[in-house]
Every structure is written in C-alpha cells, then in structure tokens.
Amino acid sequence: MKLRFAPSPTGYLHVGNARVAVANWLVARRNGGQMWLRLDDTDTGRSKPEYAQGIEEDLRWLGLDWDGFARQSDRLDRYAAAAERLKASGRLYPCFETEEELNYKREQQRRQGRPPVYDRAALKMTPEQYEKALANGKAPYWRFRLSGRSVEWEDGVLGRRVVKLPTLSDPVLVRADGSPLYTFTSVVDDIEMGITHIVRGEDHVTNTGIQLDIWEALAGGRVAFAHLPLLLDSDGGPLSKRIGSLSLRQLRRDGVEPAAITGYLAGLGTSRDPHPASARELVEDFSLSDVSHASPRFDLRQMLALNKKLLHGLPFDAVRERLPDGADERFWNVVRGNVDLLPEAKHWWEVAAGRIVPPDQPEEAEFLRAARVALPPEPWDEGTWGAWTEALKAATGRKGKALFLPLRLALTGEDKGPDLKALLPLMGAARVRERLPG
C-alpha cells in the first residue's frame, strides 16, 4: 500500500488540509504501507519556498513523517513525455480558442438550454489550419479527449460513485506556454510513483472520474479512491470562508497542542467521540470505514476543549521546555487545571513570581487593608489560605463571594483561577502585601 499527501505550496496548511494528511498517514501506518509527501508546485506564480518549508514544518509538528518526498517542479520532463504519448494516441489535441470565444460559446449554450460543455470544435481543425495558426504566432493549449462513458468506482468512504464523462468538457491538460495542469500532473505522478490508494476531499470526486479516464489512457495500474466529506463550520456553513484563521501555523501560535488537533480531526465524522491523542496513538483504531458520508462540523470550541483536557493531564516533563524560565513542577501542578492554552501559563507565572497590576477596587479598600493586617506570618503552606480567610471572616463578618472575590482580584487580577490555597505559598508574603493597599 502506498499513499501520498500532495498539497500545493501556495499557502500554509489549514485544518482541512491537515485532516487529509492525518487520514493518509494513519491509513498507511495502520496497514504497514508508505506515505509520501509530494509538493504540487507547478503553479509557479503562486507557489513559494516559504510555504513549501512551512508545510514540512507543520506536518512534523503534527507528528506526521513520510517515507519519500517528491516535487512536481523536478518532474517536468516526465509530464512532457506523458503528453507526447497522449498526443500520439490521439487523446490530447490542440486548441486555439481564446477565453472570450469560449465564454461566448458557453453563453449561447445556456441561452439554448444546453449545458455549457466544450463542443470539440478544435477536433475539426485541418493540418493546414493548424500550421497556419502556428505561422501566425499562435501557441496551442492541449485538451484531453474524454471517452464517452461513465466512470464508476467503489469509494472507500462514499461508496459507489459514478461520473458521466459526456456531461463534462474535455479538460485542458497543458497550457499554451507548455506548463502542465494539476489534473494531468497528479495522474502521471501517481502512476509513476506506484500510488495504490488516494485519500482526498470530496470536492475532487468529479476530478476522479476525469483522472481515471486519463489513468487508463496512460495505461496505469489499479488505484483505490476514498473521498472525505468536506468540513463545515459550527453553524453548518462552508468552512472555506473561515479557513484563514484555522491555519496550523496560527493554531500553533495560539498554543493549541498537536495532539488536540490530530485527535479531533481523526474523530470528526465518525461515531466515536474525539479525544486528544498523538498521531501514533491513533493508528490502531483508525479506519476509513468509520467515516460518515455526511459533512462533519468543525467546531473550534470542541477542539479547544480537547486541548484543555490534554493540558490538564500533562506531566511537568512534557511542558518543561515551553514554560517560563524558573517555572518548576510545583508551579505547573498548581496552575495546569486552569490553563486552556499553554501560553496562558505565562500569566500565572507572573501572578506567582512576577508583577501584575490588579484592578482598582475602591469600594473594597477598607476590607483589603484589613486583609493585609491579618496576613499570617511565614512560612506559608497550603493551610495559610484557610487560616487567613477564617481570621478575616471573624474580623469583618464577611463570607462566601464577598470575602473571596476581592482577595482573588487583588492577588491575581482574575475572578477565577487556580486554588488560592495552593497558589498563595508560591506567591509569598512580600508579593501578597505589595498587592494589598497599605
């Protein structure tokens, strides 16, 4: 079994790309197969080296590796050779119509109630007309002549699928400047790389019908397809409209853990509740047969809840290198239950060992002065908070929220957070006095 993940380096990976990458990797690893990374970078105008590098970095961050690497820009001679074979067999034919001419034809077809399918007028061109066009400085682009059949396959996720080729226009495979298009290059690569299984998004279903026709014209072997239903947003709309804010790069900057992302994406669209797990931890239980035909909703809040759950169970050694300088295991054990994203630990480190600016509480000034006077002597331990608040209760008559909230706001700047009986000893008497009015 050999699979590939083939992104275009025209931007950074987003969660939709990541779902496809994770699925390919898990299928390959569970079945003892290979997973290749192939950069589909023939779009030279939009492909950029920084995006190519970013794709590799983001995949490694997710915990995904690959058994081989290919770049389409290194294989242009292979596409040229394949195009010549298709020309020789009569399946690739030259065209000279301009976009304006094609738009006019399509508009006429619509007005007549006919589907706007290319009429294959270029096939009627004589050798003399072809040579005359070349002599006039025109360069042809090349279309693939689709067979007049319906292409069927048993999809690994969607079940039986049929694409009726006569209802489609012959696709352009080679531009007038000689550059090949994705529909063509992808097939050539998959054949020559020996790809056996292709897992990609449902938006490629029609492409698959066309590409299987090209596949057979190039005498390729058998290949299995599985198309994942496209993700919707939490409201049921197209996720593509919000995809920019859901790049892996941005999620990483925000502090989302890779295991929260892989666990969530692997569980989306299945009957299993997603749970945080690294890619390797997911291998044993993942199967495309568990993926529903319906488009699942990607809910960022659900993924962040998994991230929170993951962080709350992480031991100190797993986060040591990413905590602020000086933060130790005792600190982490105190604050981890109140951290949704790891960068939030920086704030709690400032609370415990640095400086903060508490909110003004003028109406609580007298109470906070009384609290400062009632501070127990050091050394402090987890019993200090209870002793302090009991003394304050007796001195002021306050209890419950009226007692605890002003203290929490003054000491942490927040109205909720780690248990103060554990946080107070980390702060120390000098820091607490500094935050209470004298």
Q: Using one digit for the tens of pLDDT, what is the confidence trace for 267-322?
A: 999 999 999 999 999 999 999 999 999 999 999 999 999 999 999 999 999 999 99
pLDDT band at 245 (very low <50, low <70, confident <90, very high): low
So what's the pLDDT on residue 38? 98
Segment 103-111 mean pLDDT: 94
| Extents of the domains making up the chain | 2-77+177-228, 239-317, 319-438
So what's the pLDDT on residue 244? 61
So what's the pLDDT on residue 241? 55
So what's the pLDDT on residue 44? 84
Token duo for residue 417: 């957070």
Strand, helix or coil at 201? strand
Strand, helix or coil at 162? strand
DSSP-derived letter for residue 290 is: G
Segment 227-254 mean pLDDT: 84
DSSP-derived letter for residue 232 is: B
What value does the mean pLDDT of the chain take? 95
Helices 401-412 and 420-427 cross at an angle (nearest 10°) of 40
Segment 221-232 mean pLDDT: 94
Torsion of CA 232, 234, 239, 242, to 10 degrees: 180
Q: What angle do CA 315, 321, 324 make, to 5 degrees?
A: 100
Return the CATH number of 319-438, one of 3.40.50.720, 3.40.50.2300, 1.10.10.350, 3.10.20.30: 1.10.10.350
pLDDT band at 119 (very low <50, low <70, confident <90, very high): very high
Cα distances from 264 to residues 15, 276, 339, 436, in angstroms, run: 10, 7, 19, 44
Q: Using one digit for the tens of pLDDT, what is the confidence trace for 259-278?
A: 999 999 999 999 999 999 99
pLDDT band at 45 (very low <50, low <70, confident <90, very high): confident
So what's the pLDDT on residue 237? 85
Segment 219-230 mean pLDDT: 92
Q: Give the CATH fold of the 239-317 domain.
A: Glutamyl-tRNA Synthetase; domain 2 (1.10.1160)
Which residues, in sequence order, are bridge partners of residue 161? 153
Which residues are CB-contacts of 255 (< 8 A; sequence separation ≥ 6)? 341, 342, 343, 344
b/e for 89-120, b at 16 or more Cβ within 10 A? eebbbbbbbeeeebeebbeeeeeeeeeeebbe
So what's the pLDDT on residue 242? 58
- Name the architecture of domain 2-77+177-228: 3-Layer(aba) Sandwich (3.40)
Lowest-pLDDT range of 137-141, 221-225, 389-393, 415-419? 221-225
pLDDT band at 238 (very low <50, low <70, confident <90, very high): confident
DSSP-derived letter for residue 158 is: T
So what's the pLDDT on residue 402? 96
Token duo for residue 125: 């061109």
Q: What is the 3-state secondary structure (H, E, C) of 45-104?
A: CCCCHHHHHHHHHHHHHCCCCCCEEEEHHHCHHHHHHHHHHHHHCCCEEEECCCHHHHHH
Token duo for residue 319: 């986060």
Segment 367-388 mean pLDDT: 96
b/e for 46-73, b at 16 or more Cβ within 10 A? ebeeebbebbbebbeebbbebeeebebe
